[in-house]
Amino acid sequence: MRVKLDVTKSLEQNAEVYFEKAKKAKKKIAGTKEAIEKLKKKLETLKKEEVIEKKKVEKIERKKEWYEKFHWFISSEGFLCIGGRDATSNEIVIKKHTDKDDLVLHADVAGSPFFVIKTEGKKVSNATMEEAAQATAVYSRAWKAGISTIEVFMVNPEQVSKEAKAGEYMAKGAFMIYGKKLKNFNPDLRLAVGIKDGVIIGGAVNAIKKNADKFVIVVQGSGKTAAIAKKIQKKLGCGDLDDIIRMLPAGGCKIE
C-alpha cells in the first residue's frame, strides 16, 4: 500500500491527516452497516405484512353448498335457515326448497325476503324461530329505511300460495298468506358476520355467536358496504371480501 506524504508537513502532521481520514472512513462504514440493518428489518416487516395480506384475501377453494346462493345461516340449534336475495330467489326458496314440515317467515313490509327454517321433521324451539325472524328483518327493506325493529310473522308452508284473490295479481317473488299466523316477532335489526373453519358466515347474532370461531356485530349506520366489509375482514383476520359483502344487508351499516 502506497502512502502519499506532504513534504511541507512533519511526519506527525501527516500521521494526523491519515488518522482523521481513517476515523471518517470508519464512521461511514458504521453508518452503512446501520443503514443495511435498518433496510433488512424493513424488508422483513414488509414480507410479514405481505403474507398477512395474502391470507386475508386468499380465496378458499372449496365446493359451495346449494344453499349458499341464498341468504343463509345455521341456527344456534343446528337448523339450516335460508332466505331469498331478490324476487327470483324468493320464488325458488318457496317453490323448490320448502318442505311440508318447514316453517316460513316474512317481515310485515314490502321488499322482505321469505325465510325458511329447514326442520327436517324435527321440533324447532323459540330460539331458532327468533333467529330466523331477525335475519328476515335484517335483509328486508326495513334496514335501508333505518327502521330499528319490525314485525315478522311465521306460517306453515301450506299457508303460502301463488293463488291471488279475485282481481289481484301476484308479482314475481310475492305470495299470498292464508289463515292464522302461527307466531309474530319483533326482532332488533342487528346481525353478525363471522368466520368458521375459514368460511365466512353471517346472519342472526345468537346463531353466529354460537357457530363462529370469531365474529363482529353489525348495526344500521352510514358506512358504505365495501368499506365496512374491509373493516370486518381486518377484524376477522382473514376471509374473502366478496363473501363478507354478500352477508351484509342493502343500505348503510357500521360495526357495533
54-74 pLDDT tens trace: 555 455 567 899 999 999 999
What pLDDT is stored for residue 104 in this prediction?
A: 98
Tell me the chain's radius of gyration from C-alpha atoms. 32
- Whether residue 239 contacts residue 200, with contact meaning beta carbons closer than 8 Å, is answered with yes
What pLDDT is stored for residue 173 in this prediction?
A: 85
For residue 252, pLDDT over 60 is answered with yes
Distance CA 102, CA 80 (A): 10
Mean pLDDT on 87-103: 97
Distance CA 37, CA 35 (A): 5
DSSP classification of residue 51 = H
What pLDDT is stored for residue 153 in this prediction?
A: 98
- Look up the pTM and report it: 0.75
Distance CA 148, CA 165 (A): 32
For residue 123, pLDDT over 90 is answered with yes
- Whether residue 137 contacts residue 184, with contact meaning beta carbons closer than 8 Å, is answered with no
User: Residue 3: pLDDT band by 50, 70, 90 thresholds?
Assistant: low
For residue 8, which phi and psi values (nearest 5 degrees)? Answer: -85, -10
What pLDDT is stored for residue 165 in this prediction?
A: 78
The DSSP bridge partners found for residue 220 are: 253
Mean pLDDT on 198-203: 96
> Which bin fits 32, alpha (ψ -120 to 50), beta or left (φ > 0)?
alpha
Mean pLDDT on 44-57: 64
Would you give the end-to-end CA distance of the chain in angstroms?
73
Percent of the chain with pLDDT over 70: 89
- What burial letters (b/e) apply to 91-106, b meaning 16+ CB within 10 Å? bbbbeebbeeebbbbb
Name the residue with higher pLDDT: 212 or 8: 212
**What does the H/E/C string look like for 106-126?**
EECCCCCCCEEEECCCCCCCH
User: Residue 53: pLDDT band by 50, 70, 90 thresholds?
Assistant: low
